[in-house]
Amino acid sequence: MDFVPRQPIPEQAPVLNRVPEVPFTGLQTLWLQVGGTLCNLACNHCFISCHPENHNIPMMTLATVRRHLEEAGRHGVQDIYITGGEVFLNPEIMQILEAILEYGPCHVLTNGTTLNAKRVGQLQAIQERRTHKLHFRVSLDSLDEQENDSVRGPNAFRQAVEGIRNLSRAGFPTHLTLVRSWDEDEDPAMEQQVMVFLRNLGAPQGRAKFLPGFLLGELEKTARQYHEHERVTERCFDNWPITNLQCSSSRMVTEDGVYVCPILVEEPAARMGGTLEETFRPYPLRHAACYTCRISGMSCKS
């Protein structure tokens, strides 16, 4: 009798259930975690668990920023975003901004609470010396003071509002970021409310940026964890280009190395290398947060 081999066990899952890999198409956007994980606030939904004592990821030094800017410049970076933590806690922030503007426009993500008139005056002076533009994105959790401060802490609303006013007086384009706590189909109505809010603060050209809640960091503790089934597979990209994901054209640099994106800086598996060039390769979308990116179609960019 002939030996009939048993069906071999497949080494990989069926194609459509496989973990997809996002290709890297070129460095369009550079993210810099200038503030590390340090923040003057301790919002109870922060997906990186930033707070006044969190030094897990150190703030970036000017020297580190310069090194990565030079590398990014060689690869044709088009725009640069800085975030934290809170970027204005970094003692070298003004020199860092000045260095960034040599390479391209800089989008500053901030909670706005430290933007007093003196600091905004310094920002204005930097802007006058550089051709590339500074843009600001101030985050709040609600347009209602009480609701906002219940998440962000006492006085956070008033200080941020003062920051937006100061930026507007100085002529900086200022946008507002809110984590979505309403149904997506209410976005147009919310957008209108944000426009009115910004107009009243003297920022008529401001726009709204709504972000989905990532079930990471503090939000994972206060809301819920991702369910087992909340993962992406190749099937999720049948009719939606995987290159829509921001991780196909951007990288996140921290003082501790280069990560695939700004969302996964606390995930050791998302650290792709020590230099940008080491990270110019595909990345497997195993993390549950990738599911939020896919279903919301979100990008952290403006």
Q: Which stretch binds ligand SF4 (CB under 6 A): 8-16, 168-176, 187-195, 281-289?
A: 281-289
3-class secondary structure, 302: coil
Q: Which stretch binds ligand SF4 (CB under 6 A): 5-13, 55-63, 129-137, 260-268?
A: 260-268
Kindly tell me which residue out of 34, 57, 69, 264 binds ligand SF4, with binding defined by CB under 6 A.
264
Please count the other Cβ atoms lying within 10 Å of the Cβ belonging to residue 165. Answer: 19
Q: Considering beta carbons, is residue 124 or 243 the nearer one to ligand SF4? A: 243
* CA–CA distance, 301 with 258 (Å, rounded to integer): 18
At closest approach, how far in Å is the CB of 69 from ligand SF4? 22
139 binds ligand SF4 (CB under 6 A): yes
Residues binding ligand SF4: what is the number (CB under 6 A)? 25
CB distance 32 to 81 below 8 Å: yes
246 binds ligand SF4 (CB under 6 A): yes
At closest approach, how far in Å is the CB of 63 from ligand SF4? 24
Q: What is the DSSP string of 71-86?
A: HHHHTT--EEEE-SS-
Helix axes 93-100, 62-74, angle to 10 degrees: 10
At closest approach, how far in Å is the CB of 155 from ligand SF4? 13
* CA–CA distance, 281 with 277 (Å, rounded to integer): 9
Q: Considering beta carbons, is residue 124 or 150 the nearer one to ligand SF4? A: 150
Q: Considering beta carbons, is residue 127 or 247 the nearer one to ligand SF4? A: 247
| CB environment 193-206: b (16+ within 10 A), e (fewer) | ebbebbeebebeeb
Alpha-helical regions (H) of 153-204: 156-169, 187-200
Kindly tell me which residue out of 97, 201, 215, 245 binds ligand SF4, with binding defined by CB under 6 A.
245
Q: Considering beta carbons, is residue 176 or 293 the nearer one to ligand SF4? A: 293
263 binds ligand SF4 (CB under 6 A): yes
Q: Considering beta carbons, is residue 79 or 86 the nearer one to ligand SF4? A: 86
Using alpha carbons, select from 54, 31, 38 the residue that is nearest to residue 262. 31
CB-count exposure of residue 224 (10 Å: 0-12, 13-18, 19+): exposed
Q: Is the dihedral of CA 73, 259, 107, 86 positive or negative?
A: negative
Task: Give the per-residue contact string, 36-55, with ligand SF4 (x = CB under 6 A; - = no).
Answer: ---x-xxx--x---x-----
| CB environment 39-72: b (16+ within 10 A), e (fewer) | bbbbbebbbbbbbeebeebbbbbbebbeebbebb
Q: What residues numbered 11-30 form the site for ligand SF4, per CB under 6 A?
A: 22
At closest approach, how far in Å is the CB of 84 from ligand SF4? 6
At closest approach, how far in Å is the CB of 262 from ligand SF4? 8
At closest approach, how far in Å is the CB of 85 from ligand SF4? 5
Q: Which stretch binds ligand SF4 (CB under 6 A): 35-43, 67-75, 91-99, 189-197?
A: 35-43
Q: Which amino acid does the sequence have at 261?
A: C
Positions touching ligand SF4 (CB under 6 A) are 22, 39, 41-43, 46, 50, 84-86, 111, 139, 245-247, 260-261, 263-264, 283, 285, 287, 289-290, 293
